[in-house]
Amino acid sequence: MYVVIMGCGRVGSSLVASLERLGHEVGVIDKDPQSFRRLGPEFRGRQVVGQGFHREVLVEAGLERAQAFAAVSSGDNSNIIAARVARERFGVERVVARIYDEKRAAVYERLGIPTIATVPWSTDRLMSMVLPDGVASAWREPSGTVAILPLPIHEDWVGRPVTELEAAARCRVAFIVRFGTGVLPRPDTVVQAEDTVYVAAVSGTVSDVTAAAAAPPQEG
């Protein structure tokens, strides 16, 4: 497939290299011609100097025949404008924008522009390496607002309904892996020994959720 990438920084150039290794054709846009040095001498795709949200620049990059577009420059505004132009004016089906501001990312998600909120994603990766019990999100929706994570729980939760765990930890049990099989919980589902409980939690509350589940249930 043919993919257009806006932004030839570290992320953009790495994405280009990965796509080329898989046999895809790539066109790259960046306002700084020196940035194309990151692509290396083997790069054979299009290199277009300019602002990636200008129609003539996108046409020169070949967006009219592209199957995908990724805006990964260092500017949130440029990324989202370019993504909207690619989706709405060129009809590109696969469009994604990198956004640093997670609140802004949530707004654009509601407008139908898939986004990657880099700060929450990076935080999750760091947590998975720092925390000894591996508490980090297994999945996060693109705006970074809600995460699903495996939740270590105190042994006294065994035999208790998942609804009690939800109330105590202020989260939602998304699913349980039990004997290697995924289980969707019902109101009468109880936690069993060896269960791996995955919960949905709002960003910023993961520490509180983890602490509540690691403590024994409070009677009454």
Q: How confident is the model at residue 205 (pLDDT cuts 50, 70, 90)?
A: confident
Strands (DSSP E) found in 51-171: 68-71, 94-99, 115-117, 139-140, 146-150
Same domain, 89 and 142: no
Which range marks the domain in which residue 24 is found?
Answer: 2-99
Contact by Cβ (8 Å): 62, 47: no
> How many domains, in total, are found in the chain?
2
Same domain, 13 and 93: yes
Q: How many CB atoms sit inside 10 A of residue 153's CB? A: 23
pLDDT at 197 over 90: yes
- CA quadruple 31, 34, 39, 43: dihedral, nearest 10: 90
Q: How confident is the model at residue 125 (pLDDT cuts 50, 70, 90)?
A: low
In a domain, 8, yes or no: yes
Same domain, 10 and 80: yes
Count of residues making up the chain: 220
Supply the pLDDT for residue 59: 96
Instruction: Give the separation between CA 58 and CA 128, rounded to whole angstroms.
Output: 38
pLDDT at 132 over 70: no
Same domain, 93 and 143: no
Say what the pTM is: 0.60
Supply the pLDDT for residue 64: 96
